[in-house]
Structure 1
Amino acid sequence: MSLTGLGQLERLCYLFSSHGLLMPAADSWQQVGLMLVTGFNCAYVLSFSNLMLVPLGWAWGLTCLAVIGAFAYYANWLLSGLHVIDGHRFIRYRDLMGFVFGRRMYYLTWFLQFMTLLLGNMGFILLGGRALKEINSEFSNSPLRLQVFILATGVVYFIFAYFVPTMSAMRNWLATSAVLTVTYDVVLVAILVKDGKANKTKDYNIHGSEVEKVFNAFGAIAAILVCNTSGLLPEIQSTLRKPVVANMRKALMMQYTVGLAVYYGISIAGYWAYGSSVSEYLPYQLSGPRWGNVLINSTAFLQSVVSQHMFCAPIHEALDTKFQKLDEGMFSKANLRRRFALRALVFGLNAFVTALFPFMGDFVNLFGSFTLFPLTFVFPSMVFIKVRQLLLPPPLFLLSLSQEILEVEAILVNRGTLGSARDLLQPAAQMATLGGLQPLFSFGVISDVQYADIPDGHSFSGVPRYYRHSMQVLQRAISNWNDHKKLQFLMNFGDIVDGFCPKDKSLITVQKVVKEFDRFNGPTYHMIGNHCLYNLPRSKLISLLKMPSIHDHAYYDFSPCPGYRFIVLDAYEISTIGWPLGHPNALAAMQILEAKNPNSDKNSPNGMVGLEKRFLMFNGAVGKEQLLWLDDVLKDSTKNEQKVVICCHLPLHPEAASAKALLWDYEEVLNLIHSCKCVKACFAGHDHKGGYTVDSHGIHHRVFEAALECPPESNAYGVLPRKSNESMRIIISTVIGIVLGYLIGISFPTVSITKIYVPTNPRGAERLPPCIVVPESDFYLRRLWGNPDEDLIVQQKYLVTFTVGYEQKNNIDAAVKKFSENFTILLFHYDGRTTEWDEFEWSKRAIHVSARKQTKWWYAKRFLHPDIVARYEYIFIWDEDLGLEHFDAEEYIKLVKKHGLEISQPGLEPNNGLTWQMTKRRGDHEVHKETEERPGWCADPHLPPCAAFVEIMATVFSRDAWRCVWHMIQNDLVHGWGLDFALRKCVEPAHEKIGVVDAQWIVHQVVPSLGNQGQAEKGRAPWEGVRQRCRKEWAIFQSRLSDAEKAYYLSLGIAPPNSTVT
């Protein structure tokens, strides 16, 4: 028969009925019901006593079983009624979804089904492999590894799929499986009753912390949901004879009565017999005769064969349709060869991947979370609501019920996914049930405790430091590590005491911290940090820390287990601190600092650029002697095939830490590391904010956060397990991200077919379709004619605003000409005169905003919202009385980008007007970021007005910095006084991101034009009232900012640190 002239639907029906995998209008409802009972439910019976009831207990467990079973039946009942819509018959789920919702939903459903089939098949291979392994263990004292039985299961599945190509051809197998299922049920229940009576110590308590209980409960809900799903109901329904819908619902009734009774019954019996200690794979725990265990596992294996065939049928159908010559007949030699190759490909890949998975129950949860939940629970209600509203309005109560159930289903899906995700990311020791993948070793890490018995303070950049609390962090860490019971050792990355510790208490303080480390039930390997050396000489430290040392060297190595070596570097081997006066290493360090650091204060990076900033006195180098030692150790590790971890107080890679925290000779160390292939990771401390990167050779560089800077009740320590298989965790983490992203996307409001509601849209736009929402704008001028996409010849990258009066027109004319066509010009007119500016040609392309007697910060708050200026990389907010003779805007932008400034201003001519020392131009610099103000003005050299400070007369903001600053501007404080001292709140680290550009400088002409817009009162000039208002606003702003910070810390339940408001 030729297929020419047939329509698409007729062609598909012909292919399926004559050659394909689906045989429409052939099977009875009893056969389909038996397939659902034995194929879907029973394949899971053996493992869910543990996964479902142990985390939930009796009351919640039985409730969830009943409620979710009812939900599943209702969702499938709805879907079965959609077999024919408006004269169209749907024999595939994706065709139904595509018909109702369009092409995108067709492909989404196809993708979910495809993942369902692949993941489901892997689950059944795993189940079959475990059943075969258990049978083998009954006859062998040295059973083979599970992976062997997984591969054997894959071979059996391949043979079955090759010789039984259609679902309808399974009726004899289904009958056999049904007989075995009855036998299985009787034998299993008998053994469970026997074991349950003999077990006098059954424990039904739910164990674990409160957090673990919650997430385990979510995981149990996921398991129950998976057990009630298929994702293939339209495909199965296509094999039924007429009346299709009625017969399908009879089959579903059989599944959710007979099938559920068996499935739930055995799960409940397993939990009753063994309590919370029930095994994940129930037959592992049975104590019956050998023949009973063999029979039970044989039945389980046969059930997995039948189930996987149903899950793989659509994959085989798609591959056969694509690659087989259907006109030749399904049993032609050519098609048999192609089928052989295709089946071998499917099962070979599935068996191989399954052998890599180190878990079973959590795998099933992932399988359901990712694919089956939406296919079985969410999509049917979506289709029913839309179809019934469009074609045949149902009773109101039924439509309302479907909508409410859809909401509940979406919640269950998300909660189940949370549980699945959490379980998958548990430590490998709790997950490794497949191939015995246990951590080779685990160790604790902590860095920069910097304990001192002094009040809390701040770092030079303003970050709070909790000196006394850091000891509590360490104590909690030691207790946690001891409770872990599987940690081989600890790594302390240095700086156990702080440099501000009173020097007469240094020895006692160090001994106190060491005593805490000694509480750990295992060895601790220490590193020396700069704060350690501020308190005690290195010889004393090495003794107190019990470091293996020769001649006061603090570098060493050790092997925690065969195949691994840890190398601990001494970052202060070459250093000006810690060595006796005149020591060669101290002298060598001073020579390096004199050559590399031009400042008299060698702890200051002033004038230094980029990676040169690492040459500070609080850093150090490993030196030539240690480099030779490191080379020898690395060569020996390579020879002995050891994997190496490098540990150092100072970071070794510039992309993992600030330039000011790096080892002086990090490049030499990296060259050695890269010269061999044995180094896998480099760990460090010192840079308190932490960091991470993977370098060009695939080596992981991790800088640990400081315990010192943890607010009360928070922690900064960890456990690092070294496992024999890390790649699978990465794969699973990626999949979990996809799962969560997808399920968030199918939240109920987004599937409403009568309204649009998108909660991720900007506030107020939730009822608009996302693609029409335009959250940002600009000041680009557009034509009133032509095509919109042809309006803009040039799109300006920068914005400059001047707040002006007409009397300053000549100065503004000169100033504007310093800005190229890359700048949008925006004038705020405080005198209300705008038309007079038309005499300037540039004014015709400028934006004019007029409001009488208002300041530039009033204008900025109301007209420069971050979403309006989001197109501009930099925003200039300038006064009108600036002389720009020595200024070039394009060159200024280049310097700002070069030096990484987020907030800046041009240098001010020092001999004109009143200026701060910080903002005065320096003739020998491109940019400066710090200065020395008058004595007593700066509590900290990294705080205003000595650093992190610019004035507000000619400020330039990056787009990101302005987004923060705009929110800090107060509506009623129009002069902006005090804002200059608070700008540092919006960039981090502020003393590096805020600076003055000396190479492009301006003159402040000190014209009190806006001041004269004030009002004369009580004999005072107008400008005097304005100045008085400015001072009041400064005090008000300081008070508000201080109160806001205190309120924030109190809301966290912690005492506010010393105020950071200057």
Structure 2
Amino acid sequence: MSKGEADTPNQHKISMAVHQNGTSTDNNDDHASSSTDNNNLYMTSASNVDRLNAGAKFVLESKGNWWDAGYHLSASMAAPTLLSLPFALDGLGWVPGFLALTIATVVSFYAYTLISKVLEQAELEGHRFLRFRDVAGYFLGRRWGYYPIGAIQIALCIAAAVVCVLLGGESMQIIYQIYKPNGSMQLYEFIIIFGILMLLLSQLPSFHSLRHINLASLVFCLGFSLCVVGGSIYVGHSKQAPAKSYSVEGSSVSKMFTIFNSLAIIILNFGIGIIPEIQATLAPPVSGKMFKGLLICYAVVISTFFSVAGAGYWAFGNASAGNILINLTPSGGVALIPNWLLFLANIFVIADLFAVALVYSQPIFEIFEGRLSSVKSGKLSMRNVLPRFIIRSLYVSFATVIAAAFPFFGDINAIIGAFALTPLDFILPFLLYNVTFKPSIWTIKFWLNYVIIVVFTIVGLMGCISAVRQIVLDVSSYKLFANV
């Protein structure tokens, strides 16, 4: 389109939005940007369109159906981190613990439904957001939306990958110790093995290409949850059942920090942080598809979260570990459950962790490949395959080294989880919905959204403080490449 031709209404609307957000561009740039499904509101010259959009076109290709979105959502939320939920109940008790789980279930489902509606409305107006940073930049501007949200999401995705590699190594070590209790292999060796396997799987070229792996991860999640529930019930009724208490112990100050730490763990489990990227994998039009995908996801979440939390806490009470599998693992004593059941649970966990790590790696892959790949060459051309292999191999190697060197990264991840997931999943969806649809100040929805923002902001901040306090308490036991 030439410079003198008139904008279409949608092009004019997008152009005005770009200028209102403080981005300088000319008409030709606006027209080039709005001519592709993978456009970026923050392009500054027509010459870099291919370079900036290669990651979105290849990694976030839009080919999926609503059930594919359900698999992606399930893999990103119903992950092995749910094995920490009995420990979260330890700091809250039965009634407050299940009340917190129920509230988190309802609020998170509501939040993801709202942000999905925001993305659908943007598509109806002529623009499709593919990345969280684009959504935030559109509404909040480059300085307050695009860069901060991009940085927060990058930190979240890297932390998730590191933790998955670490947990995968720990589960491999548990299996090794079952059959070779006096073996000489160290934790960092298992982490490296997991990292090598993940490096091979990371070469799958797009988010959409993970759909079958993520379907399998849904089955794996149900599998290890069933093993944990069955194992906990077995332990609770056995003669070797450990003594347990359900009272929340400690001083008033200690109890307060424990409560917020438990709430932060629950928020971490219900957080996703990559909803726009998952919705980007859907073939347009996307209207209604994410809601159906969320129904699949929450069917898995409700059936696993509540059962694992209840059974694990019932069996071990205040002795519940941060990973309930540790309670079921023999440590110099009599095994509490049959070895085959513990083996099976850890196999399911390992398999599921590969899927989770790959899902949270996609936004990172999109960023780097968007700058080093070319849309003029095919996705599987040598021009793009070679940099893809190098980028992803370096990234997975980095995550593996960090996991091996800092096996206490779970404590650090608690801070990142509270700091990142709270704004991405429990603040921005409600803020963006109110800005987009402008519900009347006299409606319940308007005030409900802002009440949720305030409450979860407080919980997130206190969760960060509690996590820092826990690091200070544990710092004396931190050692590089420790065999924990």
**What does the per-residue CA deviation read over 1:927-947, in whole Å, with 9 as the maximum and x for residues that have no partner?**
xxxxxxxxxxxxxxxxxxxxx
Counterpart CA distance in 2 for 1:343 and 1:18 is 16
Seen in structure 2, the aligned counterparts of structure 1 residues 321 and 200 have a Cα distance that, compared at 3 Å, is: closer
Counterpart CA distance in 2 for 1:261 and 1:10 is 44
**What does the per-residue CA deviation read over 1:105-143, in whole Å, with 9 as the maximum and x for residues that have no partner?**
111111111111111111111111111111222232214
Counterpart CA distance in 1 for 2:223 and 2:407 is 31
2:229 match: 189
1:1054 match: none
Letter aligned with residue 103 of structure 2: V
- The question of 1:420 aligning with 2:461 is answered no
2:369 match: 320
1:270 match: 312
Seen in structure 2, the aligned counterparts of structure 1 residues 218 and 281 have a Cα distance that, compared at 3 Å, is: same
Give 1:778-789 correspondences, 5 Å limit. none
Seen in structure 2, the aligned counterparts of structure 1 residues 364 and 5 have a Cα distance that, compared at 3 Å, is: closer
2:12 match: none
2:396 match: 347
Q: SS at the partner of 1:328?
A: coil
Counterpart CA distance in 2 for 1:230 and 1:183 is 21
Counterpart CA distance in 1 for 2:114 and 2:402 is 35
* Partners of 1:150 and 1:351 within 8 A in 2: yes
* Partners of 1:123 and 1:363 within 8 A in 2: no
Of 28, 33, 41, 2:65 maps to 28
Counterpart CA distance in 2 for 1:240 and 1:143 is 47
- The question of 1:222 aligning with 2:268 is answered no
Give 1:476-625 correspondences, 5 Å limit. none
Counterpart CA distance in 2 for 1:281 and 1:18 is 36
Counterpart CA distance in 2 for 1:230 and 1:278 is 25
Q: SS at the partner of 2:405?
A: coil
Counterpart CA distance in 2 for 1:202 and 1:245 is 49
2:21 match: none
TM-score, with normalisation over the residues of structure 2?
A: 0.82
TM-score, with normalisation over the residues of structure 1?
A: 0.39
Deviation, structure 1 residue 160: 0.5
* Partners of 2:55 and 2:367 within 8 A in 1: no
Counterpart CA distance in 2 for 1:363 and 1:434 is 16
- Considering only CA atoms, is the larger Rg found in Structure 1 or Structure 2? 1
Deviation, structure 1 residue 10: 4.1
Of 151, 155, 179, 2:219 maps to 179
2:9 match: none
1:542 match: none
Seen in structure 2, the aligned counterparts of structure 1 residues 348 and 265 have a Cα distance that, compared at 3 Å, is: same
Seen in structure 2, the aligned counterparts of structure 1 residues 434 and 35 have a Cα distance that, compared at 3 Å, is: farther
| Aligned residue-pair number | 429
Of 162, 165, 188, 2:205 maps to 165
Deviation, structure 1 residue 234: 0.8
Seen in structure 2, the aligned counterparts of structure 1 residues 394 and 388 have a Cα distance that, compared at 3 Å, is: farther
Q: SS at the partner of 2:419?
A: helix
> Is the deviation greater in 406-415 or in 38-47?
38-47
**What does the per-residue CA deviation read over 1:995-1039, in whole Å, with 9 as the maximum and x for residues that have no partner?**
xxxxxxxxxxxxxxxxxxxxxxxxxxxxxxxxxxxxxxxxxxxxx
1:329 match: 378
Give 1:1026-1037 correspondences, 5 Å limit. none
Counterpart CA distance in 2 for 1:358 and 1:155 is 17
Seen in structure 2, the aligned counterparts of structure 1 residues 278 and 360 have a Cα distance that, compared at 3 Å, is: farther
2:134 match: 95
* Partners of 1:358 and 1:435 within 8 A in 2: yes
Q: SS at the partner of 2:160?
A: helix
- The question of 1:404 aligning with 2:444 is answered no
2:196 match: 155
Counterpart CA distance in 1 for 2:176 and 2:86 is 23
Q: SS at the partner of 1:8?
A: helix
Q: SS at the partner of 2:173?
A: helix
Counterpart CA distance in 1 for 2:440 and 2:189 is 56
* Partners of 1:218 and 1:420 within 8 A in 2: no
Seen in structure 2, the aligned counterparts of structure 1 residues 123 and 12 have a Cα distance that, compared at 3 Å, is: farther
* Partners of 1:23 and 1:238 within 8 A in 2: yes
Counterpart CA distance in 2 for 1:66 and 1:432 is 38
* Partners of 1:424 and 1:431 within 8 A in 2: no
1:775 match: none
Deviation, structure 1 residue 34: 2.5
2:101 match: 65
- The question of 1:237 aligning with 2:279 is answered yes
Of 109, 131, 135, 2:149 maps to 109
Q: SS at the partner of 1:206?
A: coil
* Partners of 1:80 and 1:248 within 8 A in 2: yes
- The question of 1:79 aligning with 2:148 is answered no
**Greater helix share, 1 or 2?**
2
Q: SS at the partner of 1:201?
A: coil
Seen in structure 2, the aligned counterparts of structure 1 residues 433 and 274 have a Cα distance that, compared at 3 Å, is: farther
Q: SS at the partner of 1:417?
A: helix
Counterpart CA distance in 1 for 2:171 and 2:474 is 26
Letter aligned with residue 403 of structure 1: Y
Deviation, structure 1 residue 434: 7.5
* Partners of 2:222 and 2:304 within 8 A in 1: no
Seen in structure 2, the aligned counterparts of structure 1 residues 122 and 186 have a Cα distance that, compared at 3 Å, is: same
Deviation, structure 1 residue 433: 11
Between the two proteins, what is the percent identity of the paired residues?
A: 26
Deviation, structure 1 residue 58: 1.3
Of 421, 443, 460, 1:372 maps to 421
**What does the per-residue CA deviation read over 1:634-676, in whole Å, with 9 as the maximum and x for residues that have no partner?**
xxxxxxxxxxxxxxxxxxxxxxxxxxxxxxxxxxxxxxxxxxx
Deviation, structure 1 residue 264: 2.5
Letter aligned with residue 382 of structure 2: K
Counterpart CA distance in 2 for 1:190 and 1:90 is 43
Counterpart CA distance in 2 for 1:354 and 1:136 is 19
Counterpart CA distance in 2 for 1:219 and 1:115 is 20
Letter aligned with residue 60 of structure 2: L
- The question of 1:282 aligning with 2:324 is answered yes
Seen in structure 2, the aligned counterparts of structure 1 residues 271 and 147 have a Cα distance that, compared at 3 Å, is: same
- The question of 1:211 aligning with 2:246 is answered no
2:482 match: 435
- The question of 1:54 aligning with 2:54 is answered no
Seen in structure 2, the aligned counterparts of structure 1 residues 87 and 283 have a Cα distance that, compared at 3 Å, is: same
Seen in structure 2, the aligned counterparts of structure 1 residues 321 and 221 have a Cα distance that, compared at 3 Å, is: same
Deviation, structure 1 residue 279: 2.2
Counterpart CA distance in 2 for 1:200 and 1:98 is 53
Q: Which runs of 4+ in 1 moved over 6 A?
A: 430-434
Seen in structure 2, the aligned counterparts of structure 1 residues 214 and 125 have a Cα distance that, compared at 3 Å, is: same
Counterpart CA distance in 1 for 2:54 and 2:404 is 33
Counterpart CA distance in 1 for 2:316 and 2:479 is 22
Deviation, structure 1 residue 413: 1.5
Seen in structure 2, the aligned counterparts of structure 1 residues 335 and 89 have a Cα distance that, compared at 3 Å, is: closer
Seen in structure 2, the aligned counterparts of structure 1 residues 431 and 215 have a Cα distance that, compared at 3 Å, is: farther
Counterpart CA distance in 1 for 2:480 and 2:174 is 14
Seen in structure 2, the aligned counterparts of structure 1 residues 179 and 76 have a Cα distance that, compared at 3 Å, is: closer
Letter aligned with residue 346 of structure 1: Y
Counterpart CA distance in 1 for 2:183 and 2:310 is 33
- The question of 1:45 aligning with 2:82 is answered yes
- The question of 1:310 aligning with 2:359 is answered yes
Counterpart CA distance in 1 for 2:466 and 2:56 is 45
**What does the per-residue CA deviation read over 1:841-878, in whole Å, with 9 as the maximum and x for residues that have no partner?**
xxxxxxxxxxxxxxxxxxxxxxxxxxxxxxxxxxxxxx
Of 169, 183, 186, 1:145 maps to 186
Q: SS at the partner of 1:102?
A: helix
1:584 match: none
List runs of 5+ in structure 1 lacking aligned partners.
438-1062
* Partners of 1:132 and 1:301 within 8 A in 2: yes
Q: SS at the partner of 2:92?
A: helix
Letter aligned with residue 236 of structure 2: G
* Partners of 1:16 and 1:23 within 8 A in 2: no
